[in-house]
Amino acid sequence: MKLAVRTTTETDLPRLLELLDQIDDSMYPQRDDAGQASRLSVFRRIAADSNQHLLVAEADGRIVGTVHLIVVPHFSRTCKPSGLLESMVVDEAYRRKGVGAALLREVQRLALAAGCYKLALSSNLARRGAHRFYSRLGWKRTHYGFSLEPPIAR
Ligand SMILES: CC(C)(COP(=O)(O)OP(=O)(O)OC[C@H]1O[C@@H](n2cnc3c(N)ncnc32)[C@H](O)[C@@H]1OP(=O)(O)O)[C@@H](O)C(=O)NCCC(=O)NCCS
């Protein structure tokens, strides 16, 4: 399998959305679905932001995985940014073939190039396979994650 990781382009959007639909969100029944127009607008905002890297992995010319790196500027440490990961998914038919690991290698390279002092992500407690995946690649469970689900205002 010939594997390549690159930045997502607007023409990739339909396939990207198919992939993102493979993330099981059934643990969040209260979340609404967005329309295609909003998704295109979100894509354009991400693509225009030099602190965001929306990546896709291609295997034999087909997009089979994605991850989104957000470089967050802040004041802690020596004012170095941190890197936040979102929306990591690999096509069901291509899992356990090294695609996820290749995406994370590129994330780590980009985060280093951006001067990040750490990378972080949160993963729902139910995603046990994903937890094994991150642990296997050297990621440590160092924090508790907290979230406020809709309605956020109480
Ligand atoms: C988690 C995910 C991105 C991993 O991608 P992948 O391409 O399958 O991962 P890799 O092939 O690079 O796996 C590397 C190693 O991680 C571990 N691993 C990956 N998926 C695993 C799983 N479901 N169960 C147990 N270990 C797993 C294995 O040790 C694997 O090496 P091995 O296959 O030689 O044993 C993919 O399973 C996925 O898309 N899951 C659904 C969406 C999701 O949960 N995303 C994460 C949100 S936080």
Using CB atoms within 10 Å of the CB of residue 39, give its burial: 0 to 12 exposed, 13 to 18 middle, 19+ buried.
Answer: middle
Q: What is the pTM of this model?
A: 0.95
From 86, 92, 99, 133, mutation site for ligand 1 pocket: most ligand atoms within 8 A of C-beta:
133
13 pLDDT exceeds 80? yes
- Decide the pairing of beta strands 119-120 and 82-90: parallel
Q: Would you give the end-to-end CA distance of the chain in angstroms?
A: 50
| Confidence at 90, pLDDT banded by 50, 70, 90 | very high
| Pocket mutation for ligand 1, best pick of 5, 21, 87, 95 (most atoms within 8 Å of C-beta) | 95
Q: Please say whether the beta carbons of 123 and 130 come within 8 A.
A: yes
Is 87 close to ligand 1, i.e. is its CB under 6 Å away?
no
Q: What is the overall mean pLDDT for the chain?
A: 94
Least confident interval from 16-30, 36-50, 66-80, 82-96: 16-30
- The percentage of the chain sitting over the pLDDT mark of 70, rounded to a whole number, equals 95
Give mean pLDDT, residues 129-154. Answer: 93
The predicted-structure confidence for 19-37, as pLDDT tens digits, reads as follows 999 998 888 776 666 677 7
